[in-house]
Structure 1
Amino acid sequence: MAATATRNLEDWAFTQVDGGQGTAKDEWLPVSSFPTTVHVELLKLKKIPDPFIGLHEWDVQWVGESEWAFKHRLQVSDKEVGAPNIDLVFDGLDTFAEVKLNGTDILRTTNQFVSHRVPVKSLLKEGDNELSIHFKSAFRKGREIEAAHLPKLNLWNGDSSRLHVRKAQYNYGWDWGPVLMTVGPWKPISLQTYTARVADVDVRVEVSESLEVQLSAEISLSDSVTGAVQVDLKNPEGNTVASEKLGVTDSKKAEFKKSFASGEVDLWYPVGYGKQPLYSLHVTLLDKDGSLLDEKKQTTAFRRVRIVEDPLLDQEGLTWLFEINNIRIFCGGSNWIPGDSFLTTMSKSRYREWLELMVSGNQNMVRVWGGGIYEHDDFYDICDEIGLLVWQDFMFGCGQYPAYDALLETVREEAVQNVKRLRHHPSLVIFAGNNEDYQIAESFKLDLDYSDETGDFRDTNFPGRYIYERLLPRAVGENSNVHYHRGSPYSGHGKVTTDRTYGDIHQWNVWHGSQEPWHNWDILSGRFVSEFGMQGYPDIRTVEYWLGGDKSEAFPQSRTMNNHNKADGFERRLELYLVENFKHSFELESYVYYTQIMQAETLASAYRLWRRNWKGRGREYTSGALVWQINDCWPVTSWAIVDYFLRPKPAFFTVARELRSFAVGMTRKEVQTFADDTSAAEFKIETVLEIWGANSTLDEKKATLEVTAFELNTDWTETWSKDVLLAPNASTELFKGDLPGQPIRTKKSEVPKVIIVSARLLDGDGSVLARYSNWPEPFKFIHFPSVEEVGLIITMQEDGKTIRLETNKPIKGIVLDVDGDDAKWSDQAIDLVPNDPQTVHAEGLNGRAIKARYLGDGTA
């Protein structure tokens, strides 16, 4: 009996069916790489313009509305033909495809997210065989399906036909992404020969509250075989910690179980809380003579995960928090959209760069958003390795999805396949049924009675509820022990999605909704804020890329700029927040800077105020904040804090500072009191300063709080300090009192002094654990001192990489840059005060002079 052999099929050619703009009729062009999609190949052949530049997105729409074919000359050896079983395995076809082998139909696909295994022994011959795939237009096919299921359904973003097509929904265009309808074999295709194979390994790990571990593995075989299954569990060093040989006669299943006492195996922790030891289960299938038939390795790890909903001590509602190995975690992180409009360009190294960047920014959770894809295995493998928790949505986004039988059948297979593929990853801590579909139902007043827990829902005008509350929880529950959450946002307990006291919330009343000032984040909190954001331009070099050298379009309101911001009403909203807070110009580099600083201030404020709400056991009023979003799928102005080319915006750094192990925060609020109830003229206005510290470690921390106040337009300053004790895994209130240097005001005509307060937490050796400078807002009212008075000093150290920053006056929002190619900076959007120099590291300076821009520097 022969062992399993797998051969990837890589030499393919493609053509536009019946010819057209892509190829002539019957003209077959070799693909440059495989797997691939049509846009990628046409770009490499220079048959289409780059849709990421200028308005060219609209010059390539014909690609997604055309039909395409791929073919492969499959050479099969006599040994392969003689195998008992021969399968063609299609890991993913995008999307509507008809597959033929030697002219015979073998497969029809309708779902980008589903893989297929097709037995082909009877059709293969020794020598030359032809494998062909005919792709229909997903857009046109979707329109046809929609026409058969009228009326049209409600949605946000894209064409309504997308709701009928199981394809990455962002391909239809989103409020940050282009309309680029990809098509092609986007995942590997392989030929597999075998006698019998290990079809599935279902590894389940249960960790008790006392941290005892129970591991079980159910091994499923493709065929009955007389032999044995050898199971070996190995630790990260490759040493075997458990081993057993299991007999399999007529059964197609074998089961392995092993218990470990607390401490016998190492637990897996999120980044910042411990190590990430990865174990591996080696499964070897042997025939009756002990010869190898097949083998499979499954990575696993040991950790206890709970979603905790406990009563709070002095607020309504319940907690909604993640507990890992009995440790309650404040989750600070980001939402992830697909890393590119063309998914086959996402390499493992590119995934690693993105995910490691998140960890370097002190983030510990990433949410895979429901309008993209179930990510590549590399994505989850890297998250396992670096300790980044994964929130995984199912692929339903912003829509009134239908639930007719044909769709449910493919969705069920999609769900089961992807749950089985992802369930073993220790980083994966939650499946969520959809993104914002319950909000769609609320917004369009669809049938949605949250108290109905027994309905079928398919006969209502919100039939997708059957998917989220019946189909998906069954798929998750029967195939994994991962927690299932019906949607995001979803409150549960009979509450609407905007309820701030239960479940998770998407807080879009900054930017969208009521367009609140960002200073109101403290009253816009929720138990877990899984989306919030503010737009900011990307690096100026990214803007120059999409301009494509057209300098006539290099102004914020140009047609090209408009095409590279897909958000409805973005001009009004950007300008609303800019004009309310800053004096700014419309010169392009200045405009880029001010939107970036606005984004940096907005997001830092949210993390700062919500982390304050993590006040310890029973007072976890906010347990997580995931910014929308970490990344872009093309060069664009969006809510991303790192642009398409992996260039961090200033907001990335301000968020990173707020998520450090130790942080310090401040607010100032004006309190007006009247002499009596009959007078509006007699009052006093006092300015109250509050200071708190945050500590994400599991130990209390002694520190010194040092507070220095500066009046910006004079030389007045005042300093005081006190010893403080920061509670473990919580925020601690440190001070509440009058703002130093600010007199009580009795008339509105009395202009308050411009007082900047610097707070630092100092370790026992005097090193700075955390710092933050609180400025009066809005910044537009400030009369900034001249550049000469400020006296910013930038000193390059001998290593050519370390920059020291010093100042004579407080400075807000320093952003460093160089001419030419970008450098990699360790920090940006820096607030600097006298007698507190800061150091920034940079890679790639190559001796170039450093430029600095900050509020009031005279460049606006």
Structure 2
Amino acid sequence: MESSKSIQSLSSGWSFKQGAKDSTSEWLSAAAIPSEVHTDLLHHKKIPDPYINLNELAVRWVGDETWTYRAEFPTPQSFGLPGFTTDLVFQGLDTFATVYLNGLELLVSDNMFVEHRINVASLLAWSDEKKTNTLEIVFEPARARGLELVKQHPEHRFIVHQTEVSRGPVRKAQYHWGWDWGPILMTCGIWKPINVETYEVRIEDLWVKYDLSDDLKKVEGELFGIVPECENYNLNVTFELSFADGLYIAPFSFSEPSLWWPRNYGAQNLYTISMHVSSQKDTILSTLSKSIGFRSTALVQEKDAIGTSFYFRINNVDIFCGGSCWIPADNLLSQITPDRYRQWLELTADGNQTMIRVWGGGIYETDTFYDACDELGVLVWQDFAFACALYPTYDSYLKSVELEARQNARRLRNHPALVIWAGNNEDYQLIERYGLEYNFEEDKDPESWLRSTFPARYIYEHLLPKIVSEETKGMIYHPSSPWGNGVSTTLKVDQTVGDVHQWNVWHGEMRPYQHLPQMGGRFVSEFGMEAYPHLETLKSCVTDPSQQYPGSRMMDFRNKAIGHERRMVIYLAENFRIADGSIETFTHLTQVMQADAMSWAYSGWRRQWRSRGDRKCGGVLVWQLNDSWPTVSWGVVDYWLVKKPAWYAIKRAMEPVAIGVERKFHDWTLRKADELWQRDTGHVDPVAAVREVSFDLWVASSRLEPIEGVLDIRYLSVSTGKPLYRAITKTATITPNGTTEVFTDYKPEDPLTEEIPEELDPYLIHITFAVEGKVIATHVSWPDPIKYLNFDDRGVKAEYSDDKQSVTITTARPVKGFVFSERRGVKLSDNGFDIMPDEKKVVAVEGIEAKELHWRYVGA
């Protein structure tokens, strides 16, 4: 029989106005809920699109106003029947919201991340004359309320990085105040659904706690279900049950479970658990089903020769977590559809990314996000919603944080993809920067932390780990990102312990990105290099043709990163010839530069994965995967899900089998400079820099069995493509789940020409690795910097298939950084690649005919 529970979604019929509940402003129709005031104003053309040109400035006023929403709904038909209850469920209100039902104050909310469920049976209209109810929600401006809270709590020192102090005491997505990649858009509104639920019995939650045997052959645990006020009903499941205070427990045990594995390590096996509540007459009153996956998880932090390791072990297998950091995919959260979430996670998985880190300045993502991670095998590192600030600890704030943390820990605890909670993003860096009190080794009294100048330690090292422990089983908790045994590793990077955010490339000391392999740590959870998105994206958000050039007023406004004007140009000038100032050339070179930085980082840090018991680096997560609006940023994929070449570079570096090469010059040249790491190009012997080269060669493998294959190593002239040294063929057995060092400090032998030409002839190193005659990995190592190389007369040709769904690229001489200019709705099998003279690079094209593609390469 069908359940007697009914859910009425209040998704339509809303109107809104500027001002408080009693204001005389004009009511306007609102979009379907979820929504926010900006999207509703856009619908009525009351504001310009904040994502275009300088319009962000023109809509700032919206966040400083009060807004009221109103809707009517009928009283449920089952209302008033014996045993029935009616609740109003507010899944998410952004942020300072007062709710009125039929003129009576129902709820005052001040936390965007909290769900509210309220029994409204005594407040609904029920007479024959009136069975329609009026729901009104007044949203006050978060910035103004935040400033009020700062004044109300002078006992707290509010320190806020990136933005202004008002965000410190407000439990709202912190990026709404603006960040160094996104606009200031202070939203408000009904950002998650509102439902009217009528029921006799409600299953409040359903979850599993379990243990896997050491050999992974047996799983045993308990199924938990909460059914409030349910003593008069039977629980219809197949297990023997015990009952106490509305909590039902069903023990279970079985052998040979189908395990859940990260992508490329095994199948993503999921089980469905269901719970049914029926009456004594076998009428189903409530049912709830959820997906779970069985897997073992460990964060391995063991003392070793370097310090303390930091890597993940899933189902007894060590996992190198190459992936990315995730920010909210839109500043207007209601615009992110379930399909768009799915596309983002498919893109992540297709890029060979094993882990995604949900950054603490955003939101706890939707169920759709985590469901996709479960199904695709993408591990999730989840930050609690704190970022770059000294947060307060007054009583009402701590109560709100506890409710927020418990609700979200409970909501997400069944997801096998979620493997770690971190307390915050970069909040511990304030200790270093402002000299706050913090004695990790000696002061273990949480109450004393509340009286220190760093009271938020109470949240990160007491409250949140307590909640994670109480609400989940076996979930890993990490106090912060970055953090290592009481040491923040943001400002003073400690490469021996914990995770690190490496920002001495781009920010900080602005080191050459070629040094990234030596700048890592036990786990690199942030690093990045900026690049322009493809031209279609740029021109869609900077629409004035006179502003479509690098360094224009609108282009600079579009990039929120501090100092980007000089940082990007410096990195470009160090590495490439900036032949002209066109937007096309500048875009292409920034993209190739970002892709090169990704290659250096992922290949170099993956090399340090080494072997079991000797894991120097456990993972790398680029800042950042995505954008929240069309912009210039560190994103490797833009707002419209259009991939930059860097995405492909990460994919290649994270293939199950990948080749890595690092050239070594003399310690006075580009690779190894003085102790201050500056490039000493003024004293380089150009002949030696070209000819006297040695290199390291390794092969990284995530496969769990040894691989035997053949390495083919060639040394080709950049200018002509002809071999300068005799090629090497070497049989190699590749270590499973680790890196195999093939050559160390190897110097090319058997030159094919004895005389050094008057014009220096630098060479590239081209390597392939073949198994049973099939090439499964390739790599090209170019002389550095690229700007010294001559790329004239490359002889590039493109041939299109008859159905125009693929293009074959060939070249007469080596090509660096071949990039198709991508656009929305187009999918390519590869992009941002290098091509050798004897290769035929076939690229499959979806969404347009291949002949419509535009392309560039370095020196074109």
Structure 2: distance between partners of 1:622 and 1:378: 31
Segment drifting more, 146-155 vs 89-98: 146-155
- Relative to 1, partners in 2 of residues 1:185 and 1:309: Cα closer, same or farther, differing over 3 Å? same
Structure 2: distance between partners of 1:484 and 1:168: 21
> Is 1:707–1:760's contact at 8 Å kept on the other side of the alignment?
yes
Alignment of 1:375-774 (within 5 A): 375-451=365-441, 452-456=443-447, 457-481=449-473, 482-492=475-485, 496=489, 498-548=493-543, 550-584=544-578, 585-671=580-666, 686-714=692-720, 715-717=722-724, 718-740=726-748, 753-764=761-772, 766-774=773-781
Is 1:157 the counterpart of 2:156 in the alignment? no
Is 1:266 the counterpart of 2:258 in the alignment? yes
Matched residue SS, 1:12: coil
> Is 1:705–1:761's contact at 8 Å kept on the other side of the alignment?
yes
Matched residue SS, 2:820: strand
- Relative to 1, partners in 2 of residues 1:591 and 1:195: Cα closer, same or farther, differing over 3 Å? same
- Relative to 1, partners in 2 of residues 1:535 and 1:326: Cα closer, same or farther, differing over 3 Å? same
- Relative to 1, partners in 2 of residues 1:320 and 1:561: Cα closer, same or farther, differing over 3 Å? same
CA shift at 1:651, angstroms? 0.5
> Is 1:227–1:290's contact at 8 Å kept on the other side of the alignment?
no
Q: 2:177 — aligned with what?
A: 172
> Is 2:810–2:840's contact at 8 Å kept on the other side of the alignment?
yes
- Relative to 1, partners in 2 of residues 1:358 and 1:18: Cα closer, same or farther, differing over 3 Å? closer
Match of 2:784 among 777, 785, 788: 777
Output one character per residue of 1:677-698: Cα deviation in whole Å (capped at 9) or x when no partner. Answer: xxx9999874211111111110
Structure 1: distance between partners of 2:185 and 2:141: 12
> Is 2:807–2:850's contact at 8 Å kept on the other side of the alignment?
no
Q: 1:132 — aligned with what?
A: 136
Structure 2: distance between partners of 1:602 and 1:855: 16
Q: 1:11 — aligned with what?
A: 12
**What is the identity, as a one-letter code, of the residue corresponding to 2:570?**
L
Q: 1:112 — aligned with what?
A: 112
Structure 2: distance between partners of 1:49 and 1:701: 58
- Relative to 1, partners in 2 of residues 1:672 and 1:388: Cα closer, same or farther, differing over 3 Å? closer
CA shift at 1:281, angstroms? 1.2
- Relative to 1, partners in 2 of residues 1:210 and 1:27: Cα closer, same or farther, differing over 3 Å? same
Structure 1: distance between partners of 2:778 and 2:219: 41
Q: 1:238 — aligned with what?
A: none
Paired positions, count:
825
Alignment of 1:189-200 (within 5 A): 189-200=194-205
Output one character per residue of 1:593-650: Cα deviation in whole Å (capped at 9) or x when no partner. Answer: 1111110000111000001011111111111000000100000000000000110001
Structure 2: distance between partners of 1:541 and 1:353: 20
User: What is the CA RMSD across the aligned residues, in angstroms?
Assistant: 2.5
CA shift at 1:442, angstroms? 1.5
CA shift at 1:287, angstroms? 2.4
CA shift at 1:838, angstroms? 2.0
**What is the identity, as a one-letter code, of the residue corresponding to 1:80?**
F
- Relative to 1, partners in 2 of residues 1:673 and 1:402: Cα closer, same or farther, differing over 3 Å? closer
**What is the identity, as a one-letter code, of the residue corresponding to 1:659?**
M
CA shift at 1:78, angstroms? 4.4
**What is the identity, as a one-letter code, of the residue corresponding to 1:838?**
K
Structure 1: distance between partners of 2:668 and 2:96: 68
Segment drifting more, 820-829 vs 32-41: 820-829
CA shift at 1:33, angstroms? 1.0
**What is the identity, as a one-letter code, of the residue corresponding to 2:353?**
Q
Structure 2: distance between partners of 1:222 and 1:43: 43
Structure 2: distance between partners of 1:123 and 1:823: 53
Structure 1: distance between partners of 2:817 and 2:750: 23
Q: 1:281 — aligned with what?
A: 273
Structure 2: distance between partners of 1:506 and 1:598: 20
Output one character per residue of 1:339-373: Cα deviation in whole Å (capped at 9) or x when no partner. Answer: 10111111110001010011111111110000000
Q: 2:208 — aligned with what?
A: 203
Output one character per residue of 1:417-459: Cα deviation in whole Å (capped at 9) or x when no partner. Answer: 0000001100000000000001122222211222233343111
CA shift at 1:19, angstroms? 8.5
TM-score (ref. length: structure 2):
0.92
> Is 2:263–2:354's contact at 8 Å kept on the other side of the alignment?
yes
Structure 2: distance between partners of 1:495 and 1:483: 18
- Relative to 1, partners in 2 of residues 1:514 and 1:824: Cα closer, same or farther, differing over 3 Å? same
Matched residue SS, 1:437: coil
- Relative to 1, partners in 2 of residues 1:843 and 1:11: Cα closer, same or farther, differing over 3 Å? closer
Q: 2:152 — aligned with what?
A: 148
- Relative to 1, partners in 2 of residues 1:822 and 1:349: Cα closer, same or farther, differing over 3 Å? closer
Alignment of 1:357-372 (within 5 A): 357-372=347-362
- Relative to 1, partners in 2 of residues 1:453 and 1:129: Cα closer, same or farther, differing over 3 Å? same
Is 1:811 the counterpart of 2:802 in the alignment? no
Structure 2: distance between partners of 1:273 and 1:38: 44
Q: 1:852 — aligned with what?
A: 855
CA shift at 1:168, angstroms? 0.3
**What is the identity, as a one-letter code, of the residue corresponding to 1:123?**
L
CA shift at 1:742, angstroms? 10
> Is 1:80–1:86's contact at 8 Å kept on the other side of the alignment?
yes
- Relative to 1, partners in 2 of residues 1:361 and 1:791: Cα closer, same or farther, differing over 3 Å? same
Is 1:53 the counterpart of 2:52 in the alignment? yes
Q: 1:310 — aligned with what?
A: 302
Matched residue SS, 1:217: strand
> Is 1:196–1:225's contact at 8 Å kept on the other side of the alignment?
no
Structure 1: distance between partners of 2:363 and 2:206: 23
> Is 2:818–2:857's contact at 8 Å kept on the other side of the alignment?
yes
CA shift at 1:719, angstroms? 1.6
Segment drifting more, 517-526 vs 216-225: 216-225
- Relative to 1, partners in 2 of residues 1:139 and 1:74: Cα closer, same or farther, differing over 3 Å? same
> Is 2:78–2:198's contact at 8 Å kept on the other side of the alignment?
no
Structure 2: distance between partners of 1:461 and 1:586: 50
Structure 2: distance between partners of 1:470 and 1:817: 50
> Is 2:424–2:481's contact at 8 Å kept on the other side of the alignment?
yes
Output one character per residue of 1:703-744: Cα deviation in whole Å (capped at 9) or x when no partner. Answer: 11001111223544432211111110011011235443799x
Structure 2: distance between partners of 1:767 and 1:196: 61
Structure 2: distance between partners of 1:95 and 1:416: 18
CA shift at 1:285, angstroms? 1.2
> Is 1:311–1:618's contact at 8 Å kept on the other side of the alignment?
no
> Is 1:705–1:760's contact at 8 Å kept on the other side of the alignment?
yes
CA shift at 1:208, angstroms? 2.7
**What is the identity, as a one-letter code, of the residue corresponding to 2:515?**
N
Gaps of 5+ in 1: 232-242, 675-679
CA shift at 1:750, angstroms? 9.7
Segment drifting more, 589-598 vs 821-830: 821-830
> Is 2:381–2:418's contact at 8 Å kept on the other side of the alignment?
yes
Alignment of 1:207-356 (within 5 A): 207-211=212-216, 212-231=218-237, 243-244=238-239, 246=241, 251-261=245-255, 263=256, 265-312=257-304, 315-356=305-346
Output one character per residue of 1:22-48: Cα deviation in whole Å (capped at 9) or x when no partner. Answer: x99342222221111111111122111
CA shift at 1:16, angstroms? 2.8
- Relative to 1, partners in 2 of residues 1:627 and 1:663: Cα closer, same or farther, differing over 3 Å? same
Matched residue SS, 1:134: strand
Structure 2: distance between partners of 1:840 and 1:416: 48
CA shift at 1:14, angstroms? 3.0
> Is 1:687–1:742's contact at 8 Å kept on the other side of the alignment?
no
Structure 1: distance between partners of 2:3 and 2:723: 85
Structure 1: distance between partners of 2:42 and 2:133: 29
